[in-house]
Structure 1
Amino acid sequence: MPTGVPIGDVRERLFDAADRLLLRDGPSALTSRAVTDEAGIAKGVLHRHFEDFDGFLANFVLDRAHRMDERAAALREAAGTGTVTDNLATAMTAVFGSVAVAIVALVTFRDGLRARLRETWPAGVPVLTDAVEMIGDYLAAERDLGRLAPGAEPQALAPMLVGAAHLLFADRTGTAPTEAAVRGAVESVVGGVLV
């Protein structure tokens, strides 16, 4: 690439390239060369914006985790509308049908990335812990609206839902789970507390 040519938002181009690589080829395919080639920029550009490749990956993971805020807001707004099962199934498919499952594999795959994330992320795996919080908040809102039993425990149900969804979507190379399978998993977790 010629020097002096503007290339737009470098971080976002690199993050989008990492998304594509993760979804297409998995975490082992992520190298600084692969990311910069996919983004169509010189390798040195990545290192001008990030201390090292694990620093890039940590920023990428945190950026994608923070995107959960939009999904969380949409799910909270859905409280009291539609059915609880449909709202949860839609949210699970949106989260785990995205790059989230690949991010979990990436964090598991790279020791240096996990160490870097621990500097700013207290516990758990980004994206999964955000999903648990998002689902817990939504379930609490539905309980407050009387659509879940008063004794329902959102903070106990949320990790079960996220775990079930993660298992359904974990094989990124296989066929995505059907809508019926996702709904079935949701119903198996929350069916007993629906009002």
Structure 2
Amino acid sequence: MPTGVALRDVREQLFAAAERVLLRAGPAGLTSRAVTAEAGVAKGVLHKHFADFDAFLAELVVDRTAQLTLQEAALRAGAGRGDVIGTVTDTLTRLFSSIAAAVLALVIARDGLRARLRATTPTGVPMLTEATWMVAGYLAAEKDAGRIAADADVDMLALTLIGSSHLMTAGGEAPTPDPAAVRKVVTTVLAAVLS
């Protein structure tokens, strides 16, 4: 890498490179050298902006997890409209077909990374916990709209939906979950509480 070349938004450039490596090579292939090579920068660039590689990975996970907050806001805004089963199915299918699933695999694979993330996610598995909150928030909004039974335990429903969807995709060969299988899970889990 030539010296003296100005880099724009180095953090995002490195995060995007890490995503590409993670999607292509999985957690085992995600190294600082692989990330900097993918980003087309010298290895020292990563260490100039982050204390170490684990700090970089922790910030990557925090950044990508924060994107779930934006999705949650859009999801809640749609409460009271459309098909609840279709909305939840689409949400789970997108979640487990996206970089979120790859980041989740990374979090599960690296004990040190999970330990660092306890500051932002004190319980549960980072990324899965926030995804569960996102689905629970949507279900609560649908409950407020009268489309889910008033006595429904939305936290438990969300946990069941996220856990089931994750189990359908964890360690699988297919890069995306089967939407029909996800819909079957969502229909089964929500059948008793839909108004």
Whether TM exceeds 0.5 here: the answer is yes
Q: Report the equivalent of 1:192.
A: 192
Deviations along 1:23-74, whole A, 9 cap, x unmatched? 1111000110001001111100000000000000000011110010111011
* Offset, 1:178: 2.4
1:59 and 1:175 map into 2 onto residues whose CA distance is: 24
TM-score (norm 2): 0.95
Q: Report the equivalent of 1:96.
A: 96
Please give the secondary structure, in 2, of the residue aligned with 1:132.
helix
1:162 and 1:32 map into 2 onto residues whose CA distance is: 31
2:168 and 2:78 map into 1 onto residues whose CA distance is: 23
Q: Report the equivalent of 1:42.
A: 42
Q: Where do residues 43-192 of structure 1 align in structure 2 (5 Å cutoff)? A: 43-171=43-171, 173-174=173-174, 176-192=176-192
Number of residue equivalences? 195
Please give the secondary structure, in 2, of the residue aligned with 1:193.
coil
Q: Is the 8 A contact 2:97 2:177 kept in 1?
A: no
Q: Is the 8 A contact 2:86 2:183 kept in 1?
A: yes
**CA RMSD after TM alignment:** 1.3
113-122 or 152-161: bigger deviation: 113-122
* Offset, 1:15: 0.6
The amino acid across from 1:19 in the alignment is E
175-184 or 3-12: bigger deviation: 175-184
| Moved >6 Å (runs of 4+) | none
Deviations along 1:111-162, whole A, 9 cap, x unmatched? 2212221244312222111111111111111111111111111011011011
Q: Where do residues 10-49 of structure 1 align in structure 2 (5 Å cutoff)? A: 10-49=10-49
176-185 or 23-32: bigger deviation: 176-185
